[in-house]
Each structure stands twice: as C-alpha cells, then as structure tokens.
Structure 1
Amino acid sequence: MATVLDELRADPEAFLRHYAVAIAGRAPDLTQLQEKRAKFQLRTEGRAAFRGFQTGIAGLRSKQKDRPSIQFAQLPANSNAALGPDVAEVWYVPMAEDTTRMANRHTLLSGTEGPDIAFTSQLSGCTFSIGTASQGGGLIVSHIRPPQGRQPDAADYQAMRDAGSLGPMAHFFDRESRPGQTSYGEPGNLATIIGVRRGGTWRFYAQIYNLVDRRLYKVERLNA
C-alpha cells in the first residue's frame, strides 16, 4: 500500500494511468476557506478493474490492459486513524452550488504548509476552477455543481465559472471545454481530479473514465 501513496506524490500522472481512482468525500464541516483538511483512507477490496490505456509503443498500437480500481474514502472528522501507508491527510475541495457563500465555495491551498495532496469528489457535469498561484505558491480552487444537478447549458457553464472565480484564474475544467466521446465533454463520462504540491507548486490532473463500460480514457494535466 505504501507504494500507492508514494507514486501519487512522486508522479501523479503515472499514478492516474496505473489506477482507476474514486474519491468518496463528504465535507459536512469543512466550511472555512483555509481549514478544509480531512483524512482519507485507501481502499482496494472488492473493486472491479477498469480497462485502460497503455503508454509508449503499446499505447500507439491502441493496446489496453486492466487497471486496478482503488478508492480514497473520507474518514469522520473525529477519526483517530494514524497517518500511514493507507491513511493520508489531504486538502479536500467540497462540491458547492453557485449560490453558496464564498468561503464555502472556495478552497485556499497553501504553497508551503499543510498536506501536499488535494482531492475533490467525482465530477459528473461540474466545473473545477484553478486560480493563479500566489508568490508563495498558494492558490484558490473550486468545485461547482450544475444547477439542480442537471447537465449544464451555455448559461450554466458561465454561471459555474463565475462562481468558481476569485481573482485571476489559470484554468477551468468543464464539459464545454472538453468536447469528444472519450473526453469529459461526453455526458456519460466522469472525471477524478487530484492535485499534488511539489517544490511549492500545485499541479492538478484529471482522469477521464466511464463507469458503465468500465473504461479509462485519458489523463490530462490541467495547469502549468
């Protein structure tokens, strides 16, 4: 198990190519802009594999292989589970409505302090916003869901981007910006987004997949 978290920290893009990753978060009490931290436990039991891509020559030949499915499940706020090979403290970016008050809608990630991993729950039509890094490496991120949980239209996309914005923004990840049958723009496809801080810099990656077909399609790096 130690190698799973080690790989996540060392090479997030390779990690998301090697595993189908699910994030099971809750966040009922994570209401402060700078205090959205939680413990997550790694779970692997009884999870069916996904059919996924390969890299290198095998990938160019469209060959695929089974990829193990893993889950990071949020532990209760009062959990006394010790950090270790299967438990990590992370910044958790809770899903919010576009009408949610600002402090609940945004998460401020430190460039120097606290956890070096950031999770958010599964995206199924939501918009993920990434701000421009400050001089100290910190940045603002947001996860905004569509109105009433429906697939968004053009006006909804703009409303979600507006809600996710706070100062200069570096990137928006949403269905409108990712067209294609094997991309997030396909309504049947979902996304897992993970951020990792290395050397004071946060980088975010998205894994695109389909639960019905149990297929992994791609991994995208979202910000520079």
Structure 2
Amino acid sequence: MARLSEKKKAVLESMMRESLFAAAKRLLEEEGWRGTTMERLAQEAGVSKGTVYNYFRDKREILCFVVERNTEELRRFIRSIDPEAGDPRRILGDVLEGLFEGLYRNRRVIAATIQAYHEDEELRREDFDPRRHPLWDVRVFIRRVLVRGVEEGFFRSVDPALTEAAINAVAVGLARQFSLDMLDVPGDDFAAAVRDLILEGLCPREALNP
C-alpha cells in the first residue's frame, strides 16, 4: 500500500484539528467547563478517546486551544495593519469593533473560560502572566495606536497605558456580565455601541467625523 505523502498527512492533520476545534467549541458552549471532558470531546468529535489525547494533554489544553482559535481572526487583522500609517481613530475603531464582535460571538466560550479560572487553581497559576494570553498582541497594538493618536493630536491628552488598561477592563467586565447572564444586548448593536462609547471619550466631538 502506498504511503501517504507529507502533503496529504498535513491535510488530514489540519482536518482533524478543525474537527476537534468545532467539537470542543460546541461542547464548551453547551456544557460549560464542568461538562467538558476528554470523553465528551471524543464523543462529540466522533473519534476515540486516545485520538483526543494525541492532541491534548487534558481539558485545560482544550480550553486554551479554543481560546487561541477564537482570537485568531483579530490577531491576523492587526498583523495586516500598520499602526504608524492612516488615521488612528479609524484604526482603533476597527480594532475595537473586531474585539467586541468577537467577545459577543464567543460569549458562551468566554463564560466557560471564566468558570474554569474560578474553579481550577492550576489553570490560574499557569496563565497568571497576561502576556501569555492570545490577546496580548492586540493589547500592545492598541497601546501603540493610542500613543501615536495622542502625540499627533487625534486623541485627547490621555495616558496611553492607562487608557489601554481601561479598554481591557471594559472587555473583561462585559465578558463577566455575559457569563452571569446579566447583559442582554442584540449582537448587531453591541460592538458598534461599545466602540463608539470609547472613541467618543477619546476624541473631541468635532474630530469624530474627519
């Protein structure tokens, strides 16, 4: 029997990871952190438990994998933008909208993530450093845009580090409210509304429509 080519192996590997991602995301959304187990993931993906262990050491790695994949689109987007070129207001607005659209779209997985951090001491200990979070590069990018926007007069004279931390706190706070079912906002309005609240706080009103 002919051996599989490396290209075909890579395709099969990619398909398996996509299948596991889709199954893990559904499981976290529907069953939460407590209901997500290696056995349930195997059942959801239609593979053996041993296959799941070929990819993940435990359910902590499942969660980290899903979080990384859920933020991949936004991270790819910021890599396509030069923070030193173009209108900082438009750049920041686009990134904020992507950030909060992702938060809303993945709110059930985020709820499972928050539950996991509350209940799993080892997970908290492993991920204590915020620089290890998949969105760290997005936070750094936002700060760079803020620095330039303040220096060039597009934004009010605010502290970029403090402002970025406040934006992050808004995202974290909204995520917690979603996780507790305390916020019921239509998805079509959510990201744009939060984006505009932040931009209006940064920009003089006459500068919002250059």
Q: State the TM-score, normalized to the length of structure 1.
A: 0.23
Larger Rg: 2
Normalized per residue, the structure richer in helix is 2
Q: TM-score, normalised by structure 2?
A: 0.24
User: Structure with the greater relative contact order (CA < 8 A, sep ≥ 6): 1 or 2?
Assistant: 2
